[in-house]
Amino acid sequence: MTEAHLLKQALRSVVSGQAKANACAYRPGWHLAPPVGLLNDPNGFVQHNGRYHLFYQWNPLACAHGAKFWGHWSSLDLVNWRHEPLALAPSEEYESHGCYSGSAVVDKQHLTLIYTGNVKYANGSRTAFQCLARENADGEFDKIGPVLNLPLGYTGHVRDPKVWQHDGQWFMVLGAQSLDLQGKILLLQSPDLLTWQSLGEIAGSGLNGLGEFGYMWECPDLFRLAENDVLICCPQGLTAEPHRYLNTFQSGYFVGELDYQRGEFPHGEFNELDLGFEFYAPQTTLSEDGRRLMIGWMGIPDGDEFYQPTVEQGWIHTLTCVRELTLWAGKVIQRPARELQRLRGEKQTWSGTAQQAPHWDITHAEVEIDTDQPFSAQFGEALALVWDGEWLTLTRINRRTNQPETRFWHGALRQLTVLCDSSSIEIFINQGEAVMSSRYFPTLPARLTLAGSEQIALSYWPLANCMIE
């Protein structure tokens, strides 16, 4: 299809569907969601000349996975956002089945997108091209086209380039699947973003002491944090264990040291980034003030996503809040970006036995819970959190099976920060030692109900809506 045709169809979908989507009771107040249609991976997260740019996988034509576009928001403060012109539409042969995920860099003061052009053939096979597009004076993106064809030795599942600069050279990590159906991360180098040289596999199933560890690794991101290198990735095909790897696909990280000369990345063990029901495809950027920021998709591919009630209102999925990353004792610590505190209203505090706590409205709210004693919490009669002194468990009813499903964290609990927004909850454990992110669909207005006979201390802030221009 021509780009003009795709843009006309997207415009019609937005104009005809946005009023219904905005009227949905589960529409978030301060998380980012698509105007209509389906959103998934965040892409091209970058700060340029003081303004953050955040792109996202978007199907504006339906609540379905299909030929993805790139939507585009920008913000000065990570709180209030502005719609920018649609960045990419899958109009060329080399991206006929979608402009898949990728990243953004600033090259010679020009914002430049690096993304995967996805192509599927009638016989069931597929291929992938890594492509470039550069911003023009109108804030739109001119496609340069493919700069890297499918590398030898891999299936058509090669995608999600994340690019950064080191010692005057550009480097790229790519998610890939080898011909023997094992997930890998590839490292490549370029002097100019146009010609790329492979430096080999730096991580994956069967490498660096890992046994078999998934048939495909997606959405890699490699960055420096506290004198270490951190590789984020999303291995597909990990076997579920009693208390971990419980989502359809996982998202996690390795801490190690990248040898740029040898193309090697010796690393430690795999750690999940988020222990909730919905979290995938995170991407980071380095802010101009030196912070490593991350945002993810509050969804899971091939899960039970299409049983969510917002589909009937013409939209599905949100992104997580923006998080600040630090590294402590070899573990990635995640905290809500400090800018989000600007959304806070008047603070309320309370202490006493859990069962006597006020039933605050948490439809759009932040709650801090300070205790190491057993308690339980009900969020909007749709999500239950229980701390028994050893395990923290999060339980809800699966919308497809109508059966309970549970996620777990094990440790010594001291404090929880819970961010609530209409149909999502993000629970930060012990100042970001672990996180549990989930969509849920509560009785509105959602109320917090605590139970337990032990002492607990609470802080509460209502949260204002962000502005989307």
pLDDT in tens, 61-104: 999 999 999 999 999 999 999 999 999 999 999 999 999 999 99
| pLDDT of amino acid 386 | 98
pLDDT in tens, 209-221: 999 999 999 999 9
Spatial contact of 436 and 395, defined as CB atoms under 8 Å apart:
no
The residue type of 9 is: Q
Q: How confident is the model at residue 469 (pLDDT cuts 50, 70, 90)?
A: confident
With a cut of 90, say whether residue 166 has pLDDT above it: yes
Spatial contact of 239 and 146, defined as CB atoms under 8 Å apart:
no
d(CA 343, CA 336): 12
With a cut of 80, say whether residue 21 has pLDDT above it: yes
Portions of the chain given CATH number 2.60.120.560? 344-462
| pLDDT of amino acid 302 | 81
Q: How confident is the model at residue 151 (pLDDT cuts 50, 70, 90)?
A: very high
Its pTM surpasses 0.95: yes
Please state the rounded mean pLDDT for residues 237-247.
97
| pLDDT of amino acid 424 | 98
Q: How confident is the model at residue 450 (pLDDT cuts 50, 70, 90)?
A: very high
Taking phi first (over 0 means left), then psi (-120 to 50 degrees means alpha), and beta for anything else, what does residue 229 get? beta
| pLDDT of amino acid 44 | 98
| pLDDT of amino acid 93 | 97
Estimate to the nearest angstrom the gap between the alpha carbon of 240 and the chain centroid. Answer: 21
| pLDDT of amino acid 1 | 82
Portions of the chain given CATH number 2.115.10.20? 3-336
Estimate to the nearest angstrom the gap between the alpha carbon of 458 and the chain centroid. Answer: 29
Please state the rounded mean pLDDT for residues 186-198.
98
pLDDT in tens, 311-368: 999 999 999 999 999 999 999 999 999 999 999 999 999 999 999 999 999 999 999 9
| pLDDT of amino acid 228 | 98
- What's the Cα-to-Cα distance from 274 to each of 81, 232, 282, rounded to whole Å? 25, 12, 10
d(CA 88, CA 103): 13
Please state the rounded mean pLDDT for residues 134-151.
96
- The phi, psi pair for 389, rounded to 5°, reads 100, -10
pLDDT in tens, 257-289: 999 999 999 999 999 999 999 999 999 999 999
Taking phi first (over 0 means left), then psi (-120 to 50 degrees means alpha), and beta for anything else, what does residue 219 get? left
Catalytic residues: 41
**b/e code 431-446 from CB counts within 10 Å (16+ = b):** ebbbbbbbbbbbeeeb
Please state the rounded mean pLDDT for residues 287-294.
98
How do beta strands 37-48 and 315-316 pair?
parallel
What's the chain's average pLDDT?
A: 97
Q: Quick one: CATH architecture of 344-462? A: Sandwich (2.60)
| pLDDT of amino acid 232 | 98
Q: Which listed CATH number (2.70.98.40, 2.115.10.20, 3.40.30.10, 2.30.30.30) goes with 3-336?
A: 2.115.10.20
With a cut of 90, say whether residue 303 has pLDDT above it: no
